[in-house]
Structure 1
Amino acid sequence: MKDEKWGEQEIEKLLSQAPKIQDNRSKEDVFAKLKEAGAFEEEVPVQKVIKKKRSLFGIYGLTAALLLFAFGGVYYISGNKSQDDTASTSMENADMATKEAEAEGEMTSGSPMMIRNFVLEDMRTAVYPEQLESSKAFYIGLAGDDAESVPVTIIIPNEQLIEDFGTDSPSQVAMYQKYAALIDEQAAGFNDYHPVKGIVEEQGLTVVHTLPQNHGYDTASGTMSMYIGMLVDTFGKSYETVEILNEEGSAMTFSEVGEPSEPLLLTEKKHYSYFIDEQAGGIYLSPNFRQAFDTVTEALYFMKTENNDIYQSVILPGVDYTVTEEDVVTVTFTQRLDLEAFDPQQVMYMIEAVLLTASSFDKQVRFENVMQTEWQEFNFAQVLPMPVGANKLSIEFLQK
């Protein structure tokens, strides 16, 4: 063959001259021949697929190479079949290869990939300590569809914090004062709520919220519940109490309560069980109507129940467990749990809801009687990391 470069026109001309050959063999016969030839012996490595843009020339070149392979008289697949049958089979293979190459060209590196049932993306919804090595978590409670606060966590890179505050360790109140007005709540799937009315300040480990008249946070039990939940979700990890004052500096009297409010004790308000909370903008893990518990064992057992139409249990169907509470909480499944037998995202919700529930008591969790030693980012031979925040929200929702 001449040593020359082929252009697209020459390749298209070659394709147009290819004979239109009929192949009356069954698909089963073709598959058997291919299998006999060892066409399916190569193992596909389990790894992330990086986006590779295929040029049109590359796709045509692959097709042309397969055509030349066919025209060269390859007979080992078809055995006693004629040369026409071999060419037809190779034409089918060339068309399949072309479609696969085009599909790979359309694939993006951010797309969820499945290779031999392995999910090649991090499906975790919570935030973990290693994700804050060069960042800081900004916590905030957003207004959900059911007049309840949904806790979310936004990771702010240190360089952004230094640009905004002159330091990479601003307080949560300072971050709220800066970022609350910038969140595009509707784009994130929530109702507009922030920034709250009045003035939010801090005094040591106390948040002081001074409210104006006609603030509207006590017009009904739902609005009051949303307000209190928001304070816990936004400031509960960094402060001990919230004092709610009127413009005269006295304790606020809410119409739903009828007497001056006592300081809100944040440390007593965060011992929750986490459930699936389906919002218009997606699925989140949230406390079940802020029901608090005295012990982590009570909170973890409560996760098995469904006592309303809003919050759904994260526990997988047919799965049960026992809880042992020591320095580390041990959750033991009563039957050996095969994580691959369930939808992977549902498995992740269950694992993370347990971790979040335990973390509200400052406890870590060890799972026992799990078939897989490693799954996603978790190693079940070890104590699992304690989440530092629920429901990671992209920093893209902070408008600049």
Structure 2
Amino acid sequence: MTRSQWSDQEIETLFKKLPKVNDNRNPEEIYQQISRKVIRKKPAVKWIPAFAAVAALIVFTVLSSSLLQFNHSEQSKADKSTTEKAASESAGAGKKEDQQSDITKQESNDQDQQLPDNEDTPIEEAAEAPMDKEGQTEMLTEKQTKQLQTAALKTTSVYPGDLAEHSVLTIGIPDQQLNYYIPVSYIVNKTDHQGKLESLKQKMADVMEENFGLSDFYPLNVELTAGKEQGAVNINFTGGNTSAFGDNEAFFINALSETFRYDDEISKLTFSTDGKPGAEFSHMGPTQEEKINKIPMRAILLHKLNPESSALFVPSYNSYETIEAAFEEMKKLNEGASVSASVDQAINVAEFKASGEKLAVTFAKDTMIEESESHLRSIEAILLLAREFGYKKVQFVNSNIQTLGNLDLSQEIMVPVAPNKTS
């Protein structure tokens, strides 16, 4: 720091030259003026911080109680007992020390009161039930177990609701004995008629029939194109290779008929050879077209080659004059056959009653529908049966339950568009 150029003596001389300041007041007058100012000064408000702290504690208590009620509303009585015991011990310790405030006691009481006694744990939280002292998950009630099973039940067919923005492609695949044609359905993006045919040919090339326990039948060595007539698909044989099917030409045509009969836009197959109309078959002779039977009036059976293969719906080989006769066929147990009953023996129908495109199915009085895979499959088989006979929707009557899987049995149900939905 720079030293001052002024000496102490010079500074003292300068102070002496300053004008004198005189206060003519006496000491008592000065004291009174100072006292008045001190009296007018407002005392510090010390209760505001305390009030704010109490208010914050009350808000914290309410929020904590709400969170505890939300997060622990499904705890068992064992958890409640543990909480009450801990709260009691805490209250006792606070009483001995005489340091616990009334607000803290109120918080403890509020939390104890808000712990519920409800023992019905929702399905969503039942899977994450609290652990007991032995580290084992609490057992689900019988009602909750049924609810979980029902939630897992799903239909296996394609329904109109699945096709709001999509289309369905179905491939009819013969079984290994070439007795039945099992329809396997895929949901694809919507496109025009030719685009659907291209997608179908790709699915035929990609399908792994052995995964379904079926015969290796696809792809076909033919050209599939939109027919010249509306509602027709043309099958063109190149190089006159119709003889490649040998004695299986009927199976070939039946497989294609099963493939296209689920498409409402297609009603017949036309044939050509090297672009010329008609094809020569060894047994059928010259053939130019084959109409597709949209209402074959067949029963719906269940195909399951072995325990490892998928259970698939399959139309019967024979047709039936009445829907009652077809239904009886669907309940027959065929021991040792590749097809079996699709309707559970416990499900009996008292009446089938048609009204235009609607079919009313009245269950017998002794029929009790259960929330099981077997009964859901039975109901879906009846819906497919209605489709085989040309009905568009089904109303189930006298059902003891309202819903089964994702089906509402109390309402009219649209029949499936195609069976055996797969990815």
| TM bucket normalised to smaller | 0.5 to 0.7
Gaps of 5+ in 2: 1-76, 83-115
Could you say what secondary structure the match of 1:352 adopts?
A: helix
Is residue 378 of structure 1 aligned with residue 407 of structure 2?
A: yes
Could you say what secondary structure the match of 2:221 adopts?
A: coil
Query: Following the alignment from structure 1 to structure 2, what is the Cα–Cα distance between the partners of residues 199 and 261?
Result: 16
Match for 1:45 among 122, 128, 131? 122
User: What amino acid does structure 1 have at the position aligned with 2:246?
Assistant: T
- Give, in angstroms, the shift of residue 385 of structure 1: 2.1
Match for 2:158 among 115, 127, 132? 127
- Give, in angstroms, the shift of residue 132 of structure 1: 1.8
Partner residue, 2:222: 198
Check conservation: 1:232, 1:269, Cα contact below 8 A. no
Query: Following the alignment from structure 2 to structure 1, what is the Cα–Cα distance between the partners of residues 204 and 125?
Result: 36
User: What amino acid does structure 1 have at the position aligned with 2:394?
Assistant: V
**Structure 1 length normalisation: TM-score?**
0.63
Could you say what secondary structure the match of 2:169 adopts?
A: strand
Match for 1:145 among 176, 180, 188? 176
- Give, in angstroms, the shift of residue 365 of structure 1: 1.3
Query: Following the alignment from structure 1 to structure 2, what is the Cα–Cα distance between the partners of residues 263 and 269?
Result: 18
Is residue 333 of structure 1 aligned with residue 363 of structure 2?
A: yes
Partner residue, 1:265: 291
Query: Following the alignment from structure 1 to structure 2, what is the Cα–Cα distance between the partners of residues 366 and 293?
Result: 22
Query: Following the alignment from structure 1 to structure 2, what is the Cα–Cα distance between the partners of residues 168 and 42?
Result: 56
Query: Following the alignment from structure 2 to structure 1, what is the Cα–Cα distance between the partners of residues 273 and 282?
Result: 13
Is residue 181 of structure 1 aligned with residue 205 of structure 2?
A: yes
Query: Following the alignment from structure 2 to structure 1, what is the Cα–Cα distance between the partners of residues 273 and 167?
Result: 32
- Give, in angstroms, the shift of residue 144 of structure 1: 2.5
Could you say what secondary structure the match of 1:267 adopts?
A: coil
Structure 1 or 2, whichever has the larger Rg, is 2
Query: Following the alignment from structure 1 to structure 2, what is the Cα–Cα distance between the partners of residues 187 and 301?
Result: 30
Partner residue, 1:292: 319
- Give, in angstroms, the shift of residue 124 of structure 1: 0.6
- Give, in angstroms, the shift of residue 48 of structure 1: 8.6
Change (3 A) 1:269 1:372: closer
- Give, in angstroms, the shift of residue 200 of structure 1: 1.2
Change (3 A) 1:245 1:49: farther
**Correspondences of 1:27-66 after superposition (within 5 Å):** 42-47=119-124
Query: Following the alignment from structure 1 to structure 2, what is the Cα–Cα distance between the partners of residues 40 and 228?
Result: 67
Partner residue, 1:83: none
* Structure (1/2) with the larger helix percentage: 2
Q: CA RMSD in A?
A: 3.7
Question: Aligned residue pairs: how many?
Answer: 297
Q: Deviations over 1:189-222 (max 9, x none)?
A: 44332221121112221111123444566433xx
- Give, in angstroms, the shift of residue 354 of structure 1: 1.0
Check conservation: 2:298, 2:385, Cα contact below 8 A. yes
Query: Following the alignment from structure 1 to structure 2, what is the Cα–Cα distance between the partners of residues 348 and 272?
Result: 20
Query: Following the alignment from structure 1 to structure 2, what is the Cα–Cα distance between the partners of residues 311 and 187?
Result: 17
Partner residue, 2:111: none
User: What amino acid does structure 2 have at the position aligned with 1:375?
Assistant: L
Q: Deviations over 1:344-375 (max 9, x none)?
A: 11112211111112123143211112110222
Partner residue, 1:136: 167
Partner residue, 2:253: 228
Check conservation: 1:200, 1:208, Cα contact below 8 A. yes
Equivalent pairs: percent with the same residue? 19
